[in-house]
Structure 1
Amino acid sequence: MTMASNDGTGSTPAVRDSELGGRVRDIQLNRSTILRAALEIVDRDGVDALSMRRLGEAVHRDPTMLYRHIPNKAELLDGIAETVLERLQVDTTAKDWAAQLRVVAGDFRALALAHPNVVPLLATRPLATPLGMRPLGTLRPLESVLTLLVSAGFTDIEALHIYRAFFGFLFGHVLNELQEVVERPEETDAVLRLGLHRLPIAEFPLLRGLASALASYDGAAELDRGLDILLAGLNSVLGRPALPVAWSHEA
Structure 2
Amino acid sequence: MAKAPADRTTRSGNGQVPDSGPITRQRILTAALEIIDRDGIDALSMRRLGKALGRDPMTLYRHAPNKAALVDAVVERVLEQLEVDTDDGDWATQLREVARGFRRLALDHPHVVPLLVTRPLSTPLGLRPLGTLRPLENILTLLTRAGFTATDALHVYRALFGFLHGHVLNELQEIVEQPDEHDDLLRLGLHRLPIGDFPLLRGLAPVLASYDGAAELERGLDILITGLTATLPYPGSPAPTVS
TM-score tier after normalising by the smaller chain length: 0.7 to 0.9
Q: Corresponding residue for 2:173?
A: 179
Q: CA deviation at 1:139?
A: 1.3
Cα distance between partner residues in 2 of 1:112 and 1:200: 34
Q: Corresponding residue for 2:57?
A: 63
Cα distance between partner residues in 2 of 1:174 and 1:81: 16
Q: Percent identity?
A: 66
Cα distance between partner residues in 1 of 2:84 and 2:222: 19
1:226 alignment partner AA: G
Q: TM-score, normalised by structure 2?
A: 0.87
Q: Residues 152 and 14 from structure 1, CA distance in 2 versus in 1: closer, same or farther, beyond 3 angstroms?
A: farther
Q: Residues 27 and 152 from structure 1, CA distance in 2 versus in 1: closer, same or farther, beyond 3 angstroms?
A: farther
Cα distance between partner residues in 2 of 1:131 and 1:159: 17
Does the 8 A contact of 1:182 with 1:194 survive in 2? yes
Does the 8 A contact of 2:178 with 2:189 survive in 1? yes
Q: Corresponding residue for 1:200?
A: 194
Cα distance between partner residues in 1 of 2:38 and 2:224: 34
Q: Corresponding residue for 2:83?
A: 89
Q: Corresponding residue for 2:141?
A: 147
* 4+ aligned runs moved over 6 Å, structure 1: 13-16
Q: How does 1:28-177 map to 2 (within 5 A)?
A: 28-177=22-171
1:227 alignment partner AA: L
Cα distance between partner residues in 2 of 1:101 and 1:132: 24
Cα distance between partner residues in 2 of 1:25 and 1:57: 12
Q: Residues 63 and 25 from structure 1, CA distance in 2 versus in 1: closer, same or farther, beyond 3 angstroms?
A: closer
Which of 228-237 and 127-136 deviates more? 127-136
Q: What is the total number of aligned residue pairs between the two structures?
A: 229
Cα distance between partner residues in 2 of 1:23 and 1:57: 10
Cα distance between partner residues in 2 of 1:14 and 1:137: 33
Q: Where in structure 1 are there 5+ consecutive unaligned residues? A: 6-12, 243-251
Q: Which has the higher contact order (CA 8 A, sep 6+)?
A: 2
Cα distance between partner residues in 2 of 1:27 and 1:171: 38
Q: Residues 119 and 92 from structure 1, CA distance in 2 versus in 1: closer, same or farther, beyond 3 angstroms?
A: same
SS of equivalent to 1:67? helix
Q: TM-score, normalised by structure 1?
A: 0.84
Cα distance between partner residues in 2 of 1:115 and 1:200: 37
Cα distance between partner residues in 2 of 1:15 and 1:239: 59
Alignment RMSD (CA, Å): 2.2
